[in-house]
Amino acid sequence: MMEQTAGNQVSARLMIERISVLLDGEMDRTEAATTIAALCADPALRRHWHELHRAGDALRSHEVAASDAEDFCRRVAAAIGAEPTVLAPRAAKAASGLRRYWVPGLAVAASAAAVAFIAAPLMPTSETLSTAKNSPPGQVAAVDVAAQQKPLSTIATARGLSPSFNPYLAAHRELTSNSVVPRATVYLRSSEER
Amino acid sequence: MTERDIDQQLVERVQRGDKAAFDLLVVKYQRKIFRLLSRLIRDTAEIEDVAQEAFVKAYRALPNFRGDSAFYTWLYRIAINTAKNYLVSQGRRAPTSTQADIEDAETFDDGDHLRDLNTPDSMLVTKQVAEAVNRAIDQLPEDLRTAIVLRELEGLSYEEIAESMQCPIGTVRSRIFRAREAIALELRPILDIAKDKRW
């Protein structure tokens, strides 16, 4: 029991010594983070932080040390306690080392997936490509034009639709085009239209 | 790590929502802020009010602090602006740049030229602090005294002190700590009693 108490006292003194080292900035980042965490969690350690700083100030300037005001610190702590907790998203992100690596990776993967999702339907199919390959230059465009000019009733029949869909297909024909930016054309305006 | 890095770590903790980390910054800088404000405002109660307002403003503004300047420089600027606004709101003339200015935050020396602002009570406490420090230093063993003087007054790093005293850095750590502890012990009865008789 007594050994345990003595051990606790030694570790407590070691912690106070670490506070002394911390206020000199003579620690590596990890040890400093651990010591700061202990200080933030323990008001008794914060009392040592206060006294050790005061001792250093007293050596450099008696006047500065004489203006010490512990009551003031308590008052400010109460005022800060009444304030909404401040949060800086930048610091919160930096807090998680793991997140720092997987979040950008996930963002890149999501962007790639989005591009693939949007671009895939626009890519020429193997059928189109083989047609293009086997045709002389200029033929593909001609094929598309031919498709556009196909009678509506033929399209409706070919897709197993009732001829009553013909007005609908006529109205949306441009959306079914196989041109390079088929779905975007309806949103494009020439400068003359402005 | 430097002292500035330590402040930055504390700031980052505050930015993650840890208010206790801000208390550590308040404890560390309150004395210097008081001395700075005493160049602009004479009344002790007013200085405390303005200092408190400055710390609260700093806390609110902390999410925007990016660490481009040292925390204490940033804090001093807030304190000076708060004091100037306070004086204007009181219908008093804000001090000119020759008395105290934001640029002073970079080089602010909280030393001798402040004596003319001291009250008799504050001068008494200052005298008692000086006596306590001298007493504590006199009572320290030679190796502790040398270590603390090299650190606090000469500004040497632990490594430089270790070289100078021809001992391991661990010994330097321990000596500086024990010296500080002895001075803190000597100051405790003076400063913990003299709370209402500052400056």
Mean pLDDT of A65-85: 87
Distance from CA of A99 to the nearest CA of B (A): 15
**ipTM metric:** 0.84
pLDDT of residue A40: 94
Contacts of A27 in chain B (CB under 8 A): 1, 6
Top-confidence residue, B89 or A177: B89
In chain B, the percentage of residues whose pLDDT exceeds 70 is: 83
pLDDT digits (tens, 9 = 90+) for A153-175: 666 666 677 777 777 767 776 55
Name the residue among B148, B179, B178 with its Cα closest to residue B164. Answer: B148
The model carries a pTM of: 0.67
How much of chain B is in helix, strand and coil states, percent to nearest 5? 75, 0, 25
Mean pLDDT of B16-26: 95
Mutate to test the interface with A, among B7, B19, B27, B44 (most CBs of A within 10 A): B27
Q: How confident is the model at residue A89 (pLDDT cuts 50, 70, 90)?
A: low
Contacts of B194 in chain A (CB under 8 A): 66
Report the alpha-carbon distance of residue A71 to residue B68 in Å, rounded: 32
Asked if A20 lies within 8 A of B180 by C-beta distance, the reply is: yes
Report the alpha-carbon distance of residue A11 to residue A16 in Å, rounded: 9
- Asked if B23 reaches chain A (Cβ–Cβ under 8 Å), the answer is yes
Distance from CA of B20 to the nearest CA of A (A): 5
Name the least confident of A123-127, B13-17, B149-153. Answer: A123-127
pLDDT digits (tens, 9 = 90+) for A2-56: 667 777 777 888 999 999 999 999 999 999 999 999 999 999 999 999 999 999 9
pLDDT of residue A88: 74
User: Which residues in chain B (106-145) have CB-CB distances under 8 A to chain A?
Assistant: 110-111, 114-115, 118, 122, 125-130, 132-133
Task: Give the H or E element holding residue B53.
Answer: helix B44-61
Distance of CA B147 to the CA centre of its chain: 21
* Whether the predicted pLDDT of B179 surpasses 90: yes
Asked if A85 lies within 8 A of B191 by C-beta distance, the reply is: no
Give the residue from chain B lying closest to A86, CA to CA.
B17
H-helix segments, chain A: 2-23, 29-41, 43-60, 62-66, 70-82, 89-95, 97-119, 126-134, 139-148, 152-158, 166-171
Top-confidence residue, B172 or A177: B172
pLDDT digits (tens, 9 = 90+) for A178-188: 555 555 555 55
Mutate to test the interface with B, among A60, A67, A71, A75 (most CBs of B within 10 A): A67
Name the residue among B102, B29, B85, B94 with its Cα closest to residue B59. Answer: B29
Top-confidence residue, B168 or B101: B168
Q: How confident is the model at residue B112 (pLDDT cuts 50, 70, 90)?
A: very low
